[in-house]
Structure 1
Amino acid sequence: MTKTNDKMQANVDVEADMDDSRIPTGIDIPLLNSFAGDSIDYKGRQALRSNSGSWRSAVFIIGVEVAERFAYYGISSNLITYLTGPLGQSTATAAENVNVWTGTASLLPLVGGFVADGLLGRYRTIIIASLLYILALGMLALTTLVPSGAESFVVVTSSPPHLQVIIFFISLYLVAFAQGCHKPCVLAFGADQFDASDAHECRAKSSFFNWWYFGMCAGPAVGIFVISYIQDNLSWGLGFGIPCIVMGLALIIFLLGTMQYRFQKKTEGKSAFVRIGRVFVEAARNWRTTRPMASLEDQACETITHQGSQQFTFLNKALLSLDESNETGTICSIDEVEEAKAVLRLIPIWASLLAYSTVLSQTSTLFTKQGATLDRSIGPTFEIPAATLQSFIGLSIMILIPIYDTILVPVSRSVTNKPFGITMLQRIGTGLFISIALMVISALIESKRLKTAKEYGLQDDPETMIPMKIWWLLPQYLLAGAADVFTVVGMQEFFYDQVPRELRSIGVALYLSVSGVGNFMSSFLISIVEKITRRDGEESWISDNLNKGHIDYFYYLLAGISSVAFVMYVYAAKSYVYNRGRAISM
């Protein structure tokens, strides 16, 4: 009898949540239960669970992300080699340029998220961004080639013309802009394929974030190895051209799934941007008011207790209408204020994650330059590119994600009695702790490399290979992958889940912007360290001649900064109030 009552109540709840304008008169309750929440299909009809969304459409979107990450990392992983090689830049300048570009690429998703959530929608934004991506990659490939028919795939090895350098960087930043519009929309659109009101699909969505990141790493793992080898041994033009072709295929794959996708229905009335902005504006206008709010708070007592409104109480003043121009005496609703608080609660978490991104930015810059000084030979003739070891980050993630999803989650679930094992914030914190260990181990390995160089008298000979195998660097790449499994996947789910439904592209962009700001911080930190440590003609810690520098000291510095940031994160996470029932249950 209890089960029957529960089922009847569930049916009533579903019926109440549906948009009556979309439901034909006389439709029965079982059919209502087959609807996928408030999602619609490509024709604007109410989406059905039986023929849309879930894994049947998510696999298309994951496939698109594999291709896009292949293309992006095919460009970025070996970019420092192109800058220090054909473009003739110094190591420090090239590292700063790579960090600035990577940081810009990671901040631009904020623009892409705004365009998608406020203007075009995620589906249209993905298509336009893909076309722009293909154009930018094509331009980038052409700038590396000698413009003559017979030598169309000959790499420009002499000092490049000024115009060619300008066009190269324009193309490079166009790539950054295109991926900035593409990446947040694809992840948010993929998660939209799962109905959070259905228990089975809700669990599937949590797994989706794991397998999404698996795909994100599968693409780079192949792209870094294959493309960096082509760039180093065959042609930079071909190495930049193949990603262009792959992005074209990605767009085709995405369009093939159109009829199975679920689309979020547009919310009538004011946009979330307007609602949230209005709360902050009205709270600022009412900053000095002393008008009592007791009556309003009494009316909202249950809402306030449930949603954790004791935080950021200064926003409660947005509830007041000073001129009492409306009947209730309020200017913003309680839901609108809570919506603004939900966004504001993300800021301390976001800020405490910046050091993590600063640490991980070294994997594509200083780690690569370290590897270039070591013995990279396999057998008598084959030599792997230094950038190839970056593929082990993806390989580590690809091994650990299935273990996490199929073993660690069930085990932790049995210990914590929570349906998803550990909370999103606990998962992120675990990765932050691993990143501190990563920097300490990287510093110890770099000390070993410097000691070997000194033993063989190679301190003044940076061009000679140090008799130390590149595989010494493998632990730091594997630890970087392990940290990502916990922190990055946790950030993806956290920032998607904890923002208002209409702003989920922006939520994903917030997670991506952590990497962007972190890369800018890394570039700034490298610049400061180089100026401070280059005194009286001495070599700086980050010298063009790594054998006379002290990158190990720089890594220890990052470990210290990360430790401070970890303490800040733990404090912010302990005081964080989840704004959804599902997150609380985790």
Structure 2
Amino acid sequence: MIQNRKNAHELVAERERYSHLLSFPQISSFFIMELSTINSPKTHHNKLISDDDPPLPTMQLQRSKGGLVTMPFIIANEALERVATFGVLPNMTFYLMKEYSMGVTTAQNLLFYWSSATNFLPLIGAFIADSYLGRFLTIGFGSIFSFLGTIVLWLTAMIPKARPPPCNLLVSGQACKSATTAQYTILISSFMLMSIGAGGIRPCSLAFGANQFDKRDTNGNIKRVLETYFNWYYAAVMISVLIAMTGIVYLQDHMGWKIGFGVPVVIMFFSAFLFFLATPLYIKENVINNLLGRFVQVIVVAYKNRKLAYPEQNSGYHYNKGSEFIVPTSKLRFLNKACIIKSSEDVKQDGVAVDSWSLCTVEQVEELKSLVRVMPLWSTGIMVSINLSQSSFPLLQAKSMDRHITKRVEIPAASFGIFTVIALTVWLVVYDRVIIPLGSRIRGKPFRIGTKERMGIGIFFSCMAMLLSGIIEHVRRRKSIDQGLLNNPEGVVAMSAMWLVPQHCLNGIAEAFNAIGQIEFYYSELPKSMSSIATAMFGLGTAVANLLASVILSNVDSITKREGKESWVSSNINRGHYENYYWLLAIMTCFNLVYFMVCSWAYGPCVESGSKKLVEEDGEMELENVSRPGSTT
């Protein structure tokens, strides 16, 4: 299978063009991740051919499928799934505390685990789609699982015996009965079903839509059509999240859980129904091998050849014909033994290794090296994700403050996250439409802030967001005590909830700098063949961050409530000390910024090194200098 280089370059340009348009935390990063998967070697039509290959006789038959007619169904599936699943998340802390008698620490930890699973399972979904099922079946099964998950969650609200007896945990001295094992199982199964569904839909949806266009079209229409598709996809996903954070939250606040959880069931049903309705119209690509196995092969072969001597000349390494990697680099040199040719019998006449578990290519080795090199910088983004995942505490803060804009208009407590969305969107527009053109005009040449610099700036803003959150909470708590609300966490403090807006805005700016900078860093520094890995790394970091956030929260709770003291993260927001918890995160983020600087210095410049690329012209091989990350000089 030969990849069409012209189309790949066009798609790379599309990715660069749309990489600045993201607009909401975590979901914003996901959009770039999804868009970038189209550039992966795994993102193909049924069959990709080179520019020089003749048209296939079946082209006209294939054109009867796919195209713009499939776009409404694919985009609706993704957008409606997000409305359904993200709509139940903002108020989930209240649901767990009021209906399941959970403390704020237990509720937040459960949400941490759910978010971790939701961010990790798309990696599994991408692997299954690429290696076994294909994107169509993976999205289909994901839609079914998400639908079942919303049904189970709705049933917990509809069936009284599916949850503990009614009890107000926030009332001082009132003992509440905990949920039984069966009740917990039903609740957690709903979360897991929705996470599995997200793992099937989200890593495949955008790329599956791109598969519906004939990339062999040479009349220039493909670029315009893809641009239209990306515009509509981005707009639909953005609108769906806004609806989830406002409309669904409003229903839950004013019409109760039965309606608030029932509407997402109906929405998810239409998501699955519309996707399957267009089944005869879809182009369904074939599955191909995955990249993970290539990494395992390098490690195994390098270990098997650990006693092998390095060749004196660079001609002793095995590489694929036409590969940009012909000689391994000296960094992490012990891995080079995986691509040393021990005997001429190890390679077939066509240049392919007889046994891939005994001899790897230079490209495989350099792919693994590139991944290992970026891991330290990858780990610096975990702390930012930990800060962004603190959803329960801002929710309780907003609930205890005056949320009225006018006498009749009141913002739901769970909708304050929309200010993070707004801040992120505004900053990206200002950066792309004002700062970049102005900087380029002043410098007289193209201007952009480097990826590592953006990552560092994002960590700084994240630290400032936690610092400011602590200050605002300290003021709010003092006012609540002065107003006699120490033992009344449900009382409303005479302080406008709009004071919470700045911390949400700082979080949005931190997300815009760090998360998007991370993903662009992975794409620029990892080989093009590792686009799928670049996509996966941010999601994996978010999953790890949620697990670590749970560890931090649990330890803070257990340590600070010793000797009968009130926990910093008490369910009674007025008796607890949320400001101390915020400041602890700010201190950790400050140390993380120092750690980032060390890792950035150790990594070196992000300027792509020159490499030698093999280009075939008229049957003769010639070396051409190109700019390619991770290659040798």
Assess same fold via TM > 0.5.
yes
Unmatched tracts of structure 2, length 5 or more:
11-40, 168-176, 612-625
Q: Report the Cα offset of residue 61 of structure 1.
A: 5.0
1:474 is aligned to 501
Q: Which has the higher helix share?
A: 1
Q: Report the Cα offset of residue 219 of structure 1.
A: 2.1
1:563 is aligned to 590
Residue 86 in 1 paired to residue 99 in 2? yes
Residue 241 in 1 paired to residue 262 in 2? yes
| In structure 2, C-alpha distance between the alignment counterparts of 1:428 and 1:205, rounded to whole Å | 29
| In structure 1, C-alpha distance between the alignment counterparts of 2:574 and 2:327, rounded to whole Å | 56
3-state SS in 1 of match to 2:495: strand
2:331 is aligned to 311
Q: Report the Cα offset of residue 155 of structure 1.
A: 12
| In structure 1, C-alpha distance between the alignment counterparts of 2:292 and 2:140, rounded to whole Å | 23
Q: Report the Cα offset of residue 272 of structure 1.
A: 2.9
Residue 488 in 1 paired to residue 515 in 2? yes
Residue identity (%): 30
1:520 is aligned to 547
1:79-478 → structure 2 map (5 Å cutoff): 79-146=92-159, 157=166, 162=180, 163-189=182-208, 215-252=236-273, 254=275, 271-292=290-311, 294-296=313-315, 309-321=329-341, 325-327=345-347, 331-362=359-390, 364-380=391-407, 383-411=410-438, 421-478=448-505
Q: Report the Cα offset of residue 265 of structure 1.
A: 6.2
| In structure 1, C-alpha distance between the alignment counterparts of 2:283 and 2:453, rounded to whole Å | 31
Moved more, 219-228 or 365-374: 219-228
Moved more, 370-379 or 575-584: 575-584
Q: Report the Cα offset of residue 355 of structure 1.
A: 0.6
Q: Report the Cα offset of residue 256 of structure 1.
A: 7.4
| CA-to-aligned-CA distance 1:67-98 (integer Å, 9 cap, x gap) | 22222221111111100001111111111111
Q: Report the Cα offset of residue 312 of structure 1.
A: 2.7
Q: CA RMSD in A?
A: 4.7
Q: Report the Cα offset of residue 105 of structure 1.
A: 1.7
| In structure 2, C-alpha distance between the alignment counterparts of 1:184 and 1:43, rounded to whole Å | 28
| In structure 2, C-alpha distance between the alignment counterparts of 1:167 and 1:222, rounded to whole Å | 27
What amino acid is the match of 1:248?
A: F
| CA-to-aligned-CA distance 1:386-406 (integer Å, 9 cap, x gap) | 212122222333444444444
3-state SS in 2 of match to 1:316: helix
CA contact (8 A) 1:431 1:484 kept: yes
3-state SS in 2 of match to 1:235: helix
Q: Report the Cα offset of residue 264 of structure 1.
A: 6.1
| In structure 2, C-alpha distance between the alignment counterparts of 1:196 and 1:485, rounded to whole Å | 35
Q: Report the Cα offset of residue 41 of structure 1.
A: 8.7
Moved more, 332-341 or 174-183: 332-341
| CA-to-aligned-CA distance 1:89-121 (integer Å, 9 cap, x gap) | 111111111112212221222211211122112
| In structure 2, C-alpha distance between the alignment counterparts of 1:41 and 1:345, rounded to whole Å | 43
What amino acid is the match of 1:361?
A: S
How many residue pairs end up in the alignment?
552
| In structure 1, C-alpha distance between the alignment counterparts of 2:71 and 2:375, rounded to whole Å | 30
Q: Report the Cα offset of residue 134 of structure 1.
A: 1.1
| In structure 2, C-alpha distance between the alignment counterparts of 1:86 and 1:216, rounded to whole Å | 31
Q: Report the Cα offset of residue 482 of structure 1.
A: 2.4
| In structure 2, C-alpha distance between the alignment counterparts of 1:398 and 1:342, rounded to whole Å | 32
CA contact (8 A) 1:376 1:386 kept: yes
Q: Report the Cα offset of residue 545 of structure 1.
A: 2.1
Moved more, 452-461 or 84-93: 452-461
Q: Report the Cα offset of residue 235 of structure 1.
A: 2.2
3-state SS in 2 of match to 1:85: helix
Moved more, 172-181 or 302-311: 302-311
| In structure 1, C-alpha distance between the alignment counterparts of 2:507 and 2:499, rounded to whole Å | 14
3-state SS in 1 of match to 2:494: strand
Q: Report the Cα offset of residue 582 of structure 1.
A: 8.1
| In structure 2, C-alpha distance between the alignment counterparts of 1:208 and 1:560, rounded to whole Å | 43
Moved more, 78-87 or 258-267: 258-267
Are residues 380 and 584 of structure 1, via their aligned partners in 2, closer, same or farther at CA, if it must alter by over 3 Å? same
| In structure 1, C-alpha distance between the alignment counterparts of 2:513 and 2:297, rounded to whole Å | 36
- Out of 547, 555, 580, the residue aligned to residue 553 of structure 1 is 580
